[in-house]
Amino acid sequence: NAGVTQTPKFRVLKTGQSMTLLCAQDMNHEYMYWYRQDPGMGLRLIHYSVGEGTTAKGEVPDGYNVSRLKKQNFLLGLESAAPSQTSVYFCASSPGLAGDFYEQYFGPGTRLTVT
Amino acid sequence: RKEVEQDPGPFNVPEGATVAFNCTYSNSASQSFFWYRQDCRKEPKLLMSVYSSGNEDGRFTAQLNRASQYISLLIRDSKLSDSATYLCVVILYGNKLVFGAGTILRVKS
């Protein structure tokens, strides 16, 4: 099993450009998440999904959109990139609620720089 | 006040030492707690869950103090391979996770 994979690993965008980050998991997990990690701050939840066809906003959703058309994939889109979106983006999946002590499995991350 | 606070460190300790980190949380309704480990430029990975009764896994012990609203992680007999950033995670309910910014541990020979 590959676990959670993310594409691409690195990307440099110019302000105003758009891109889509792809997350895929092969563990048949219902729940999937997108986080961003910035220096000196904890991971912050952008959007999450509790199942195929569902999405919900997290703590910092502005400037991002997501889709979960297939259970195994969770896409994060940036419609018009801004320098404030320079960050490391992590995707995660879990078989159940974190509140019920289910582990989150993270992908290797995407390092995005917006100039 | 941040929802979850950790001493950023770094904690520099020699091999074989015992080291402890605390993590304080602000919401008394928090229901579940974890410690994750993150190596440099890698993804976070679960280290251990923190139950009300505490949790021990080999050299690692996690405790929860609800009255004072903190969790702790104790590492005994530190190894070079324990060098990493340790992330405290607090769950208010369901999937509302709040991550601390992490504590850096450096174990030196």
In chain A, the percentage of residues whose pLDDT exceeds 90 is: 89
Cβ atoms of B26 and B1 closer than 8 Å: yes
Strands A10-13 and A19-25: unpaired
Q: How many CB atoms lie within 10 A of CB A3?
A: 14
pLDDT of residue B43: 97
pLDDT of residue A45: 94
pLDDT > 90? residue B94? no
Q: What is the pLDDT of residues A66-78, one digit of tens each?
A: 999 999 999 999 9
- Judged by DSSP in three states, B4 sits in strand
Q: Predicted confidence band at A1 (pLDDT cuts at 50, 70, 90)?
A: confident
A42 to B45: CB separation less than 8 angstroms, yes or no: no
In chain B, residues with a C-beta closer than 8 Å to the C-beta of A101 are 32, 34, 49, 51
**CA distances (Å), A101 to each of B22, B25, B33, in order?**
20, 17, 8
In chain B, the percentage of residues whose pLDDT exceeds 70 is: 100
Q: What is the pLDDT of residues A69-112, one digit of tens each?
A: 999 999 999 999 999 999 999 999 999 888 788 899 999 999 99
Asked if the bond preceding A8 is cis, omega within 30° of 0, the reply is yes
Q: How many CB atoms lie within 10 A of CB A28?
A: 9
Nearest to A42 by CA among B55, B38, B105: B38
Determine which of B36, B38, B41, B95 to mutate to test the interface with A (most A C-beta atoms within 10 Å): B95
A90 to B89: CB separation less than 8 angstroms, yes or no: no
- Measure the CA–CA gap between B83 and B100, rounded to whole angstroms: 18
Q: What is the mean pLDDT of residues B51-66?
A: 95
Tell me the pLDDT of chain B averaged across its residues: 94
In chain B, residues with a C-beta closer than 8 Å to the C-beta of A41 are 101
Q: Predicted confidence band at B96 (pLDDT cuts at 50, 70, 90)?
A: confident
**CA distances (Å), B7 to each of A41, B10, B23, B54, B72, in order?**
12, 8, 8, 21, 12
Q: What is the mean pLDDT of residues B17-42?
A: 95
Helices (H), A1-115: none
Q: What is the mean pLDDT of residues A10-30?
A: 97
A99 to B91: CB separation less than 8 angstroms, yes or no: yes
